[in-house]
Amino acid sequence: MIPLRTPPLALAALAVLLGACQADRATTGSIYPHDYRARHPIVLADGSRSLDVFVTGPGHLDPRQGADIDAFVLEYRRYGRGSLLVEMPRGVSPGAGAAAERTGTAIRGLVARGGVPPRELVFSGYAVANPGLAAPIRLSFQRMEARVADRCGLWPQDLGLSTPGSSVRNEPSWNLGCATQSAVAAQVADPVDLVRGRPEGRIDTVRRVKDIGQLRDGKDPSTNWRQDGQTNVNSRLGL
């Protein structure tokens, strides 16, 4: 029997049809962690703290800005590294420049009273982009901070029905939980608390000896709390 010869064009068309019949590869299981703490972990990293002090009136510090600077200096003394940088606005009107200089002098005195040595206070300047807008005096320093490892607001997959493969997996969206993690990281005063607990404080020796003595005498060592000479708080709580 003489074999039939198939034209090359027909073979190519047949291969395309067979390839179209092949099923798409399906990914089984989760492609990223379900736990938002694994998707958006809080890490410790080098960061900076800054405070804008606006020049008000002829150049002085009002009580609100004085309190802000006191809190900022206290944070610098506890957690800051390096110098405390004070950046003065440059390129403003002569009147605004003079008021800024007087405000800078007041800041220098307030920082010194806060316990910052003069060698750690560095004055510098920055160019003002728009002289018509309020140009603050910027205080900043470097410190370790807690923050989310990645950036929030990322949506690698659509939440709608445009991608049926991801819609039927019943998985949380990638961005879910990122804002919560960022808020928690921003509220932590000392980032080291996220790594380990603090050591126990000193015991109250006087109170411990008194309680042990009452137990030995068969007495109740609990404390009877009273308000304004009225009924015992323990009885109000049913204790």
pLDDT above 90 (res 82): yes
pLDDT band at 67 (very low <50, low <70, confident <90, very high): very high
Summary mean pLDDT of the chain = 83
Question: Which amino acid is located at 14 in the chain?
Answer: L
Q: What share of the chain in percent tops pLDDT 70?
A: 76
The pTM (predicted TM-score) of the whole model is 0.64
The predicted-structure confidence for 169-178, as pLDDT tens digits, reads as follows: 677 888 899 9
pLDDT above 50 (res 2): no
Write b or e for each residue in 164-203: b if 16 or more Cβ atoms lie within 10 A of its Cβ, otherwise e. eebeeeeeeebbebbeebbeebeeeeebeeeeeeeeeeee
pLDDT above 70 (res 6): no
The predicted-structure confidence for 88-133, as pLDDT tens digits, reads as follows: 999 998 888 899 999 999 999 999 999 999 999 999 999 998 888 8
Choice among 74-88, 135-149, 202-216 with the minimum mean pLDDT: 202-216
Q: What is the mean pLDDT of residues 182-203?
A: 90
The predicted structure's pLDDT at residue 89: 94
The predicted structure's pLDDT at residue 171: 76
Residues 6+ apart with CB under 8 A from 93: 131
Q: Which two tokens stand for residue 30?
A: 């989760």
Choice among 5-14, 66-75, 149-158, 178-187 with the minimum mean pLDDT: 5-14
pLDDT band at 53 (very low <50, low <70, confident <90, very high): very high
CA–CA distance, 33 with 26 (Å, rounded to integer): 18
Instruction: Give 102-107's long-range contacts (Cβ < 8 A, gap of 24+).
Output: 102/58, 102/59, 102/60, 103/53, 103/55, 103/59, 103/60, 103/61, 103/137, 104/137, 106/59, 106/60, 106/61, 107/53, 107/61, 107/69, 107/137, 107/139
Domains of the chain in sequence order: 42-148 (3.30.1330.60)
pLDDT above 80 (res 186): yes
The predicted structure's pLDDT at residue 58: 79
The predicted-structure confidence for 7-43, as pLDDT tens digits, reads as follows: 666 656 655 555 555 545 555 555 678 888 998 999 9
Write b or e for each residue in 69-80: b if 16 or more Cβ atoms lie within 10 A of its Cβ, otherwise e. beebbeebeebb
Residue with tokens 């949380």: 172
